Amino acid sequence: MKQQEILNHFRIEKEVLSVEKYGSGHINQTFLVTVKENKKYILQKINTSIFPNVEELMENILQVTSFLREEIVREGGDSERETMTVILTKEGNPYYTDEDGNAWRVYVFIEEAISYNQVERKEDFYQSGVAVGRFQALLTGFPAEKLHEIIPDFHNTAKRYQDFEKAVAKDCCQRAAKVEAEIAFVRAHKEEMSILGEMFKKGELPLRVTHNDTKLNNILIDVNTKKAICMIDLDTVMPGLSVYDFGDAIRFGANTAAEDEPDTEKVSLSLELYQAYLQGFLEGCDGRLTSKEMEMLPMGAKIMTLECGMRFLTDYLQGDTYFKVHREGHNLDRCRTQFALVEDMERKWNQMCDVDNIISLC
Ligand code: ADP
Ligand code: GN1
Ligand code: MG
């Protein structure tokens, strides 16, 4: 089997027993590897059309994980479980390129931990908020200038809007006519797209080292202690805004429906989950957020939801080339859930912005 040959190039001592497809990420191809004595690894084929510079991608991940490891040890934590461990190739490289030019990497599999695709217990979501806040807090001292900007303008929503308009104008798959309502929805929100970027430019929001992809299934929760222990999927760790990390987590986890639910009637913002996450996130940030950042957390949630919906729509218009799709119209379903969620946030905006509530949680 091809994957077994790939694994021969990594520093894995024991005999490989099985390799199975794993997880539900939209970007990389992930496999669970079991070796003799029941030790496990994660093997990933890196999506090189999204991450063409694998050298820089892995350099970021190595830098961030080594920094986190030191911080975790300093705080008396378990660095084997609380951050990712990259397994090097036999030549000492953090990834392997096969004869077809595919790039592969291996991580230690973190045992007895689950990544959820939907919130099952409020407490888990609260815990994931603590983990994301703590991730930002732990990286406070990390020299941001050392990080490569792996996907430039990743959360530059105004730029994402321009890309969307280009995709509409090109309409390469003749799909625009089918999504007139969704296109109109995006255009009606054009003004809001630049709010956070403008605040950053004016110095009103500080640049931090952020994860940038904080959806629930990128966080591992310990099955025994029920605590969120580790942030995974570090591909997009880059300088960014704290409100992006908060917002992206809300967009996914506080939605009462799955991200790709075809029935948008099921979509709504759970204020109970929103509140639980807010509390966890603020606790994890441990007093590091400025009052402006706290004030803009609800806007982060709305803009990240809008941006993600717009990205799904753009991908639909471009022929589903970015996000993995598993059925026809998959990206369109995803786009519609995001826009339905934005609408519900607009209905619940006053409750989301209840400043007294936010401050009382600090
Ligand atoms: P993608 O970029 O495609 O989202 P991820 O890096 O998030 O890929 O990995 C996909 C899934 O694999 C995760 O959601 C998680 O369930 C699982 N996973 C990834 N790395 C580990 C790890 N080190 N230990 C345990 N599970 C992992
Ligand atoms: C992708 O890799 P994954 O599945 O965790 C995407 C995120 C989106 C998310 C939507 C590198 O995340 O930006 O918010 O899908 N990652 C990348 O579910 O584009
Ligand atoms: Mg992921």
The yes-or-no verdict on residue 355 having pLDDT over 80 is no
**With contact defined as beta carbons under 8 Å apart, do 41 and 35 qualify?**
yes
Q: How far is the CA of 218 from the centre of ligand 3 (A)?
A: 5
Measured distance CA(29)–CA(225) in Å, rounded: 29
Helices (H) and strands (E) in the chain, counts: 14, 11
Alpha carbon of 27 to ligand 2 centroid (Å): 7
Q: How confident is the model at residue 38 (pLDDT cuts 50, 70, 90)?
A: confident
Smallest CA-to-CA distance from 237 within 58, 44, 55, 42 is with 58
Mean pLDDT of 5-32: 95
Convert the pLDDT of each residue in 200-259 to its tens digit.
999 999 999 999 999 999 999 999 999 999 999 999 999 999 999 999 999 999 999 999
Q: Give the separation between CA 224 and CA 209, rounded to whole angstroms.
A: 30
CA dihedral 136→137→138→143, nearest 10 degrees, is 70
The protein residue with its alpha carbon nearest to ligand 2, atom 13, reads: 213
Residue 350 is predicted with a pLDDT of 95
Query: Could you read off the pLDDT of 79-119 as tens digits, one per residue?
Result: 999 999 999 999 999 999 999 999 999 999 999 999 999 99
Confidence of residue 354 (pLDDT cuts 50, 70, 90): confident
Closest protein CA for atom 12 of ligand 1? 23
Task: State residue 181's pLDDT score.
Answer: 98
Q: What is the pLDDT of residues 135-162, one digit of tens each?
A: 999 999 999 889 999 999 999 999 999 9
CA–centroid distance, residue 138 to ligand 2 (Å):
23
The radius of gyration computed from the CA coordinates of the chain, to the nearest angstrom, equals 20
Asked if the model's pLDDT at residue 361 lies above 70, the reply is no
pLDDT at 16 over 90: yes
User: Smallest Cα–Cα separation from 206: which of 245, 238, 241?
Assistant: 241
Strands 103-108 and 86-87: antiparallel
Ligand 1, pocket-test mutation among 81, 233, 326, most atoms within 8 A of CB: 233
Q: Is 90 exceeded by the pLDDT of residue 359? A: no
Instruction: Return contacts of 10-17, CB within 8 angstroms, 24+ apart.
Output: 10/87, 10/88, 10/89, 10/90, 10/96, 10/106, 11/87, 11/88, 11/89, 11/90, 12/41, 12/87, 12/106, 14/39
pTM for the model: 0.96
The whole-chain average pLDDT of the chain stands at: 96
Percent of the chain that is helix, strand, coil (3-state, to 5): 50, 15, 35
Domain annotation for the chain: domains and CATH numbers: 2-111 (3.30.200.20), 122-360 (3.90.1200.10)
Over residues 182-192, mean pLDDT: 98
Per-residue model confidence (pLDDT) at position 144 = 87
